[in-house]
Amino acid sequence: MEYLIYGLIAYLLGSIPSGLIVGKIGYNTDIREHGSGNLGGTNTFRVLGVKAGIIVTLSDILKGTLAASLPYLLGADVITLVIGIFAVIGHMYPVFAGFKGGKAVATSGGVVLGVNPLVFAVLLLTFFVVLYLSKYVSLASMLSGVVGIIATLVVQDYLLTIIIALFTLFVIYRHRANIKRIMNKTEPKITWM
């Protein structure tokens, strides 16, 4: 029963469409109608700028962290990583935004932050190194997941290995079009780094 309750809470937290809220309240813009049409941080950066992008990205990370931490803080007898999966699903398929959400990168990272800040730091460092070298947000997102799997194997946190592998599969699946564009050299590169 606790899994059902906390899973639902996590899904609803994940479903909060940060990009849509920031866009409509702060900029009178529905970011689903601009750029890639995605509700995540990357499209927010492109459409609304750095300030909005940072707010949305941090909000999306916080959703995952809160979802993974809440059961622990309340003393629930559940595996917090499993609960975190529901937040990621909520972010990808949000009930509050017609089930069309983001690509799960920031929220997945937030779940990891909630259970293992050291592995999150490795993910973050990998993301920015790959981003600096390639200028592709999508490639940095996917490779961060792969490095995260390796990092969890090194620290022998095998449940986290499984969850990060699952998150990485989610992220790669959601970036199918980006992978094709990278291969065709048509994927947009960032210009601010």
Distance CA 68, CA 114 (A): 6
Residue 191 belongs to some domain of the structure: no
pLDDT score, position 57: 97
pLDDT score, position 191: 82
Query: Could you tell me the residue range of the domain that residue 71 belongs to?
Result: 2-183
Summarize pLDDT for 87-122 with one digit per residue, the tens. 999 999 999 999 999 998 999 999 999 999 999 999
Number of Cβ atoms within 10 Å of the Cβ of 8 = 13
Residue 145 belongs to some domain of the structure: yes
Q: Which parts of the chain sit beneath pLDDT 70?
A: none
The token pair at 186 is: 């048509």
Residue 193 belongs to some domain of the structure: no
Average pLDDT, the chain: 95
Distance CA 53, CA 46 (A): 8
Task: For tokens 């947000």, name the residue.
Answer: 137
Residue 188 belongs to some domain of the structure: no
Residue 174 belongs to some domain of the structure: yes
**Residues near 110 by Cβ (< 8 Å), separated by ≥ 6?**
60, 61, 62, 63, 64, 65, 66, 67, 68, 87
pLDDT score, position 1: 87
Residue 121 belongs to some domain of the structure: yes
Residue 192 belongs to some domain of the structure: no
pLDDT score, position 193: 76
Structural domains counted in the chain: 1
Quote the pTM value.
0.94
